[in-house]
């Protein structure tokens, strides 16, 4: 799920969607308006799931997509290399999740984790 927001309302450490990828904003720089134009903003961001740096330039009145990020808690049921079975601690729903390389050796059964859900994708943020 996503909402729409104007570029001028975005903030550093906020989120936006670039090329259908949810991204975290690293920096925003704004230029002054020209004689016949309007102010433009250059946004540097990094993809939440792929880690790729992206940059865009838009007028400050341009509307961009902002992902709705749901931060949740879960408990690891089983962990095996690149995947883990996790139970949500609020809804008790169980699901399979792909595990990033940084968490491959850190996950074990019974451990509580933090994860985020956005645009139908999940990622572990803290183990």
Report how far residue 62's alpha carbon sits from residue 76's, in angstroms, rounded to the nearest whole number: 42
The C-alpha angle 23, 126, 117, rounded to 5 degrees, equals: 45
Q: Determine the pLDDT at residue 17.
A: 94
Q: Determine the pLDDT at residue 37.
A: 83
Strand partners, 50: none
The domain made up of 2-67 is a member of CATH 3.20.20.10: no
Instruction: Identify the weakest region by mean pLDDT among 58-72, 93-107, 111-125.
Output: 93-107
Q: Determine the pLDDT at residue 81.
A: 78
Tokens of 70: 């749901």
* DSSP H/E element including 118: strand 112-118
Q: Determine the pLDDT at residue 62.
A: 92
Q: Determine the pLDDT at residue 70.
A: 93
114 Cβ neighbours under 8 A, 6+ residues apart: 71, 72, 73, 74, 124, 125, 126, 127
- Fold annotation for 70-126: OB fold (Dihydrolipoamide Acetyltransferase, E2P) (2.40.50)
Q: Determine the pLDDT at residue 117.
A: 93
Q: Determine the pLDDT at residue 102.
A: 85
Q: Determine the pLDDT at residue 67.
A: 94
pLDDT tens-digit readout, 62-102? 999 999 999 999 999 998 878 899 999 999 999 999 888 88
pLDDT for residue 108 is more than 90:
no
Residue-range domain boundaries for the chain: 2-67, 70-126
Catalogue the E-assigned strands of 31-111. Answer: 40-47, 53-59, 63-67, 70-80, 83-88, 94-98
Q: Exposed, middle or buried, 16 (CB in 10 Å: 0-12/13-18/19+)?
A: buried
Mean pLDDT of the chain: 91
Q: Determine the pLDDT at residue 13.
A: 94
């Amino acid at each position: 799920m996503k909402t729409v927001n104007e570029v001028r309302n975005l903030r550093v450490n906020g989120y936006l969607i670039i090329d259908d990828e949810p991204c975290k904003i690293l920096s925003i720089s704004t230029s002054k308006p020209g004689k016949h134009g309007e102010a433009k903003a250059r946004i540097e961001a990094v993809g939440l799931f792929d880690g790729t740096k992206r940059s865009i330039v838009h007028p400050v009145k341009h509307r961009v997509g902002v992902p709705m990020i749901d931060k949740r808690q879960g408990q690891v049921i089983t962990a095996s290399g690149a995947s883990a079975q996790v139970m949500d601690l609020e809804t008790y729903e169980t699901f399979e999740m792909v595990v990033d390389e940084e968490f491959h050796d850190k996950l074990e059964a019974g451990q509580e984790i933090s994860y985020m859900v956005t645009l139908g994708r999940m990622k572990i943020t803290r183990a």
